[in-house]
Amino acid sequence: MDGDSAKLMPMDNVYSYFMFVSPIERKKNSRTVSWTKVLAWVLVTVNFFLQGTILFAVFNDVVASDVVWRDSILSLAGKSVNPFAPPPSKCNPGGSLCFEQNHTFTCAPPSVQLAGRWNDLDLNGDGIWTREEVLTAQENLKCRYAVDPLEVFNVFVSFLKNRADVIWLHPMVKAGQALHKPYFDFAKGDIIMCNYRNEEMCPNLLKRGFFDSPLTSGESPRVGKTIESALDYCYELLRKGGVCERTLPSTYSVWRQSSDQQCGTQIYHNFEYTHPKTGMTKSVLELDYKAVEDYEKGRVSKLFLVYKAIIMGMFVLCMFVELKDILVVVTWILTYPGEEDVDEAVKEEKDAEGKVEKYIIQGVSIRHRMMVGLLTLGRFVLTFLLTWVGTVFLLQDTDYVNLLLNVVALVFVVEIGSCLYGQLLDVELREQCENTAPFVVNMASIWKFLWFRNPAVRDIFGLSCVIAIVGGGMYMHYIHIAKPLSTALECTCLSQGDRCFEAQTFDTNFWGNYWAEDVPQVFTSVERMKRKHEAETDDDSDSAPHFIRIGADDFTTLQKAEDMPLQDDRDKHSKRHRMRRLFNIGSQ
């Protein structure tokens, strides 16, 4: 056979059986439908049903569920590589634990997201965040951060009222009308702590040095002077039913439960923390999560990436062979001679005893050609879906053993047709099909320059295609899914990472400055505000009603000058002078 042709062998699967057995049965009896033909149709139908059902189950339970899970963690907001995805929304759609903005991820609960964005809140830059400014920027902030700023404003007021025993509150704060920058800075420490989700994260914060500054100075009443007091402060905020859960809106509890579920199984590592001033040590457990470790492995482990590439390569190679067989069958449908083009459609070769030893199919009927075309179309659709579902299924896996087991399961789905052929067909029927001469298909007549005459070149080209598909698929998955999802999980579960907004904004330096500089400045500013407010109150009291002592036991009310029935400025001045003199005499 020259390099322009390909052989279509009688294979051990139901599609090949259908192609070869129908012309043979037509040769035997062209007027009746034989049971052998009926069996061929039944096998093909059962194969479609089994493969379709398994594919639907895998897609619905694994692939679709994985998409929902990914969307619950990270909102790509129009950056999806899916060409059928809806157009991106102009506003942050919400519904995810994290969203990307300016190449960083924000994974804080809705009520905490604005804690580090004072410039977006104080619109006029006067150092006071008023309720009017909240209402003015409400729609804009909802669009950008998917959180109601009025809700955040009320959260800050609630936290400040809970700390009224340690800090003086301005009447405007008590009334919920305005937040001065010092109050915002004071309250945001507690609110940002709520971002760490549960009390088991407190040792992690201790290890990161978030409490080193107050423990060294011993001047923070909230944190205290000992390791135990620092942990107690953190526990009281983050424990179930603690200050964060009681004070923040219900969306915080929803965020907390959702993030706990997405982060997976908790993992603990023991370490010793040393008090930065006294040198005392305490053994505590650092928290980690299995989901974070798994996706981190898929992001940085070269061994795992090579291992996954091998698994993916074997699966794609299997699909490539299936598609190549479909291509040959399509060419056969388009080019193979018909019954009218040959003298004898099916030629029989007999042995010395006159028994048919081999069938040679030289031409096929139009009806058979159409039936094979219909089945080939269904076969192509199933193969395409299996390639897509299987690739997504394997790419989202992050476990060595599961990858191996899953690829074996997917190859089994491909081989269902062969299993049906080998286990249901009688040996005599299989021998009749397998002893049929292969079809010779002229590939170059259709594909011309796309069909390489040299078989070695064709195989090298096929291998190159497999490598390119695997490499391109894994790269796209790594860039668009694995890497951002790993970063988002690390930011969500542990509040750390180079691209995590909260981790970079509220790092060790932030907490060191917060406890050592910001909090003392807060109390200084608040004390200044308190004195100013008291002075204003005293000034206002000069024009308020007074009691003037006239005698030993009776008092006369001194009214405001503008309320007295005076006729002109001279009368006002003389009467006010007499009142002051009367006040001085009565007080002596």
Give me the helices (H) in 435-515, please: 444-447, 455-477, 483-494, 501-505, 508-513
Residues with Cβ within 8 Å of 532's Cβ and at least 6 positions away in sequence, in order, are: none
> Token pair of 535, please?
């002075």
What pTM value is reported for the model?
0.69
CA proximity to 55, closest of 318, 316, 373, 384: 384
Digitized pLDDT (tens) for each residue of the chain, 588 residues in all: 456 788 888 888 889 889 888 888 888 877 777 888 889 999 999 999 999 999 888 888 777 777 777 777 776 554 544 444 445 566 766 667 787 777 788 888 877 778 778 888 988 889 999 999 999 988 888 887 777 888 889 888 988 888 888 889 999 999 999 999 999 988 888 888 988 888 999 999 999 999 999 999 888 888 989 999 999 999 999 998 888 888 887 778 888 888 888 888 889 999 999 999 999 999 999 999 888 888 777 777 888 889 999 999 999 999 999 999 999 999 999 998 988 888 888 888 887 777 878 888 888 889 899 999 999 999 999 999 999 888 888 888 888 898 999 999 988 998 898 898 888 888 888 888 888 888 888 888 788 777 777 888 888 988 998 999 999 888 888 888 888 888 888 888 888 888 888 888 888 998 999 898 888 899 999 999 999 888 888 766 555 444 433 333 333 333 333 343 434 444 444 444 444 433 333 333
DSSP conformation letters of 100-169: EETTEEE-S-TTTGGGG-GGGT-TT-SSEEEHHHHHHSHHHHHHHHSS-HHHHHHHHHHHHHHTTTTS--
Give the Cα separation of 492 and 482 in Å (integer).
15
Residue 222, pLDDT score: 84
Give the Cα separation of 175 and 164 in Å (integer).
13
Q: In what order do the strands lie in the sheet with 98-101?
A: 74-75, 98-101, 104-106
Question: 3-state DSSP call for residue 564?
Answer: coil
